[in-house]
A and B are shown apart, each in its own frame.
Chain A
Amino acid sequence: MKPAPFAYKKTRSLEEAVALLGEHSGKSLDARLLAGGQSLIATLNMRLSAPSLLIDINGIAGLDGIANKGGTVEIGALVRHAQAERSETIARHAPLIARAMPHIGHAAIRNRGTLGGSIAFADPAAELPACLMALDGEVDATGPKGKRTIKAGDFFKGLFETALGPQDVLTAIRVPAATAETRVGFAELARRHGDYAIIGLAASARADGKGLADVRLSFFGVGSTPVCARKAEAALSGGAIDDKRLAAAIAALDLDPHDDVQATAALKKHLAGVLLRRVAKQLLEART
């Protein structure tokens, strides 16, 4: 199908983007921000959304940086997946994001899609929202009242629903920089490489003697937002990770997925255990 008609405005400043969103939010008006467009334009083509105005933010300077700022990795909203995939800073200081990157879409999609767009869209089967939760990261947003920071745990509200208001522009995401003790793991199952996952798991932890501490297990594709499996996290923390501890963690997986077009809830629950086994192995690998 073809998109319904809309107006297009390329903006060069954050202030203008916020102002345009304000002018075009109302009963019959609906403005959307256009970043990478890899989800938005697909929904326009399918007429799942029909905004009156697209505000192209690709020309706003200063939103495409990647930097380690005193122990925190800051990634601009307009950083493209391909750019993050090639980034030395992300490989060294945000290894979970580096691991997730090749699973996101296909090369042609990663050349356009942005990290900010993926977080703001909040697809429940997407990799990056789960990574942000696993890393206990945060996002910066600018709105009519200025800039504010939102913790990942407060950001994902529901199915494609976030803490962003109608006039907010997400400008950056931040995650703690990895230390020598940081351990990360990532795995997903998809029918075709690059498709949205049937289920996936992004995890982080801190090496603590022979075991792990501060384990965070963030599943995606199992609910309306990324889901942290708190009981399994607790079961995996503490002593050495042996078969018994791993079996206990799998038994403690408190997930409540629904059937979807890809898999039944029962299959997803089974696959959650399979992924936890794979990711636990990665969490035990020392950083290279």
Chain B
Amino acid sequence: MSDLALDISLTVNGEAVHERVEPRKTLVDFLREDLSLTGSHVGCEHGVCGACTVRVNGEIVRGCLMLAVQCDGVKVETIEGLSDSGEVADLQTAFEQRNALQCGYCTPGMIAAAQDLLLQPQLRGGVPSRDKIREHLSGNYCRCTGYHAIVDAVESVAQARAGGKQ
């Protein structure tokens, strides 16, 4: 490791992490290579595809457009954390049941972006329109299934979560 490296302390999926990182290492590479959390995927590496989407301090971000050194003191949640806590279990089931994935490369980012939409306070627990779902997922590329089944899956979860309110 070069003399440019810096120490960082952060929380990843609820666990304290202390590591020494090169400034040039992006958050997603740090998660995958240093912490072996390979659920976050590296696609375009310039913020277009959304495969690296993770949550930092509760907000979704591009893992390829943040540096690991910038994450000192933050709280990171990856698909592993969202999955283990059960927070996105209904989305995962709906994606499977509605064939909303084939190769699965985009799926962790899609689930993180979909969950972000469903948590928006403006929704007030309601069901977003299909247009709104498409807009919110517009930053996430899928190159095999296509988006119809993904929108179906997110919409069905939104309806189920809204329960009798709709």
Q: Which residues of A contact B (CB under 8 A)?
A: 1-8, 10, 34, 37-38, 41-42, 44-46, 54, 56, 58, 82, 102, 105-109, 111-112, 192-194
Contact = CB atoms under 8 A, between A and B. Distances in A.
25 contacts: A1-B45, A3-B26, A8-B6, A8-B23, A37-B66, A38-B65, A41-B66, A42-B46, A42-B47, A42-B64, A42-B65, A54-B23, A56-B69, A82-B59, A102-B135, A106-B138, A107-B116, A108-B60, A108-B61, A108-B113, A108-B116, A108-B139, A109-B47, A109-B65, A193-B135
B123 interface: no
Contact of B136 (A4, A44, A107, A112): A107
Given A3-B24, A8-B69, A45-B45, A112 B61 contact: yes
Contact of A37 (B2, B22, B65): B65
B24 A5 contact: yes
Give the one of B2, B23, B66 with max A CB within 10 A.
Answer: B23
Given A6-B4, A106-B138, A112 B62 contact: yes
A111 B60 contact: yes
B67 A37 contact: yes
B131 to A, nearest CB: 10
Contacts of A2: 24, 26, 29, 45
B53 interface: yes
Interface string B79-120: 000000000000000000000000000000000010011000
Interface in B3-36: 4, 6, 22-24, 26, 29
B19 to A, nearest CB: 14
B70 interface: yes
A38 B46 CA distance: 8
Given A58-B70, A82-B59, A41 B26 contact: yes
Contacts of B26: 2-3, 41, 45
Interface residues of B, number: 32
- Top 3 nearest A-B pairs (CB, nearest first) are A106-B139, A8-B23, A42-B46
A41 B67 contact: yes
A7 B4 CA distance: 6
A16 B69 CA distance: 19
B50 interface: yes
Give the one of A6, A41, A44, A102 with max B CB within 10 A.
Answer: A41
Interface in B118-166: 134-136, 138-140
A179 B69 CA distance: 44
A112 B66 contact: yes
B70 A56 contact: yes
A130 to B, nearest CB: 21
Contacts of B136: 107
Nearest to A50: B24
A91 to B, nearest CB: 13
A150 to B, nearest CB: 28
Given A56-B69, A108-B62, 20 more contacts: A1-B45, A2-B26, A2-B29, A2-B45, A3-B26, A4-B24, A6-B24, A8-B23, A8-B69, A34-B70, A37-B67, A41-B66, A42-B45, A42-B46, A42-B47, A106-B50, A108-B50, A109-B139, A111-B61, A193-B135
Nearest to A53: B23
B29 to A, nearest CB: 7
A79 B149 CA distance: 36
Contacts of B64: 41-42, 45
Contacts of A112: 61-62, 65-66
A84 to B, nearest CB: 14
B58 to A, nearest CB: 10
A45 B113 CA distance: 23
Given A38-B62, A45-B45, A111-B59, A105 B67 contact: no
Contacts of A8: 4, 6, 23, 67, 69
